[in-house]
Structures are given as C-alpha cells and as structure tokens.
Amino acid sequence: MTSKKSTSGKSDIARSEVRISVADQVRELTIETTSDRDEVLEMIKQSLASSQPLVLSDTRGRQYVVPATKIGSVEIGDISERRVGFAGA
C-alpha cells in the first residue's frame, strides 16, 4: 500500500511551534499549533494588551491557558520536518 506524498514539501496546514516561559515555573511550555506565526503573535499581543489569559490550541485539540501576567518570554517558529536516520554515518 502506498500513500501520496506532497510534491511541495510542505503540508497544507500552517504549523508553528510556540515556546512560552512562565513566571515562577522551571519548565517552559512547548506547543505545536495549526496557527501560523502571525496569528500566534497577534493573539499574544492582544493577551498582553488586555491582560486577558492567552489561550492556544495544539495540533491534538488540547487547549493551554496562560495568564498574561505570568508570560515571561515567547519564541515562535515554524516546525521543520524531522529527519530520521543517520545521514552522516
């Protein structure tokens, strides 16, 4: 059985990885979302400006709620395709 692969190398769904450091927490949150970078950035800006909690959904449908006052820093990036194997070996 074979499956058709995309010829463009990218999926039809825009995906971003968001890392949020939360005040008073040792670990940071890492969320894979179907929103693109600009959408995530706009949600963060709105949350910080209004002091309302930031609510993000991941690719599995789970929701994360982070109080705006506890957001330390945010890193937003594209999800790169993960490679499997030993390319250099």
CA atoms of 10 and 8, how far apart (whole Å): 5
> Is residue 44's pLDDT more than 90?
yes
Bridge partners, 42 (sequence order) = none
> Is residue 30's pLDDT more than 60?
yes
> Is residue 54's pLDDT more than 90?
yes
Question: Which pTM was predicted?
Answer: 0.71
pLDDT of residue 8: 44
Residue 74 near residue 56 (C-beta atoms within 8 A): no
Q: Identify the domain containing residue 55 by its residue range.
A: 16-78
Q: What tokens appear for 5 in the block?
A: 């692969």
CATH classification of the domain holding 72 = 2.30.30
Residue 79 near residue 32 (C-beta atoms within 8 A): yes
Residue 2 domain flag: no
Residue 70 domain flag: yes
Residue 85 domain flag: no
Residue 54 domain flag: yes
Q: What tokens appear for 23 in the block?
A: 């005040």
Provide the number of structural domains found in the chain: 1
Q: What's the chain's length in residues?
A: 89
pLDDT of residue 85: 66
